[in-house]
């Protein structure tokens, strides 16, 4: 509702929606969820400029979220991240819907990204929760039994991010 109110008749606006969550079991982290890249039409350049603004600082950890079945060539987000983080030291590709593939070739490519990643920060696999289904940890564990535990699943991604961000902050403090 708030997004609709802020957008009005526009397709893209720079006004952020801020949600704060506090609790003893929560990590201290700021996550900025940027809009997806628009391929054609109104707002395309606005979105690209907004993304550049947030990923250009050296202390920003970049999560490139793409569907596991998506080709690298069609992922404009990968191009942008590479432009601002050429050595891959602060970018992680999160492969969503790792349980939904449309070909064996796409599945093999995604598995290779997780298992054989040459990036400094290897890719990470997460599953799909379609139609508002509740997250199923057991299903995820079963699906990812053959993948490196530190590169698959919501829990390990949650554990991975704060320490990576902390390292970036240490590296960039004067």
pTM of the predicted protein model: 0.82
pLDDT at 91 exceeding the cut of 80: yes
**What is the model's pLDDT at position 85?**
92
Q: Which has more confidence, 50 or 116?
A: 50
**What is the model's pLDDT at position 120?**
65
Residue 147 CA: distances (Å) to CA of 67, 150, 167? 17, 9, 25
**What is the model's pLDDT at position 55?**
92
Please give the average per-residue pLDDT across 25-50, as a whole number.
Answer: 80
CA 82 to chain centre: 14
**What is the model's pLDDT at position 45?**
85
pLDDT at 130 exceeding the cut of 70: no
The whole-chain average pLDDT of the chain stands at 84
User: What percent of the chain shows pLDDT beyond 70?
Assistant: 95
Q: Which has more confidence, 11 or 119?
A: 11
What is the per-residue DSSP string for the chain?
A: -HHHHHHTT-S---PPP------TTS-------PPPPP-SSTTHHHHHHHHHHHH-STTPPEEEEEETTS-GGG-HHHHHHHHH-TT-TTEEEEEE-TT--S-HHHHHHHHHHHHS--SSS--EE----GGGPPP-HHHHHHHTTTS-GGGBSHHHHHHHHHHHHHHHHHHH--
């Amino acid at each position: 509702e708030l997004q609709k109110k802020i957008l009005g008749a526009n397709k893209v606006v720079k006004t952020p929606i801020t949600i704060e969550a506090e609790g003893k079991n929560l990590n201290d982290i700021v996550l900025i969820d940027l809009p997806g890249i628009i391929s054609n039409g109104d707002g395309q350049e606005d979105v690209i400029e907004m993304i550049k603004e947030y990923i250009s600082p050296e202390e920003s950890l970049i999560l490139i979220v793409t569907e596991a079945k998506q080709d690298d060539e069609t992922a404009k987000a990968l191009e942008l991240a590479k432009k601002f983080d050429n050595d891959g030291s602060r970018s992680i590709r999160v492969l969503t819907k790792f349980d939904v593939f449309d070909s064996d070739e796409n599945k093999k490519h995604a598995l290779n990204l997780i298992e054989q990643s040459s990036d400094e920060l290897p890719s990470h696999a997460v599953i799909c929760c379609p139609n508002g289904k509740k997250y199923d940890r057991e299903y995820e564990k079963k699906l990812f039994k053959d993948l490196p535990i530190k590169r698959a699943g919501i829990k390990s991604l949650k554990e991975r991010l704060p320490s990576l961000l902390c390292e970036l902050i240490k590296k960039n403090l004067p």
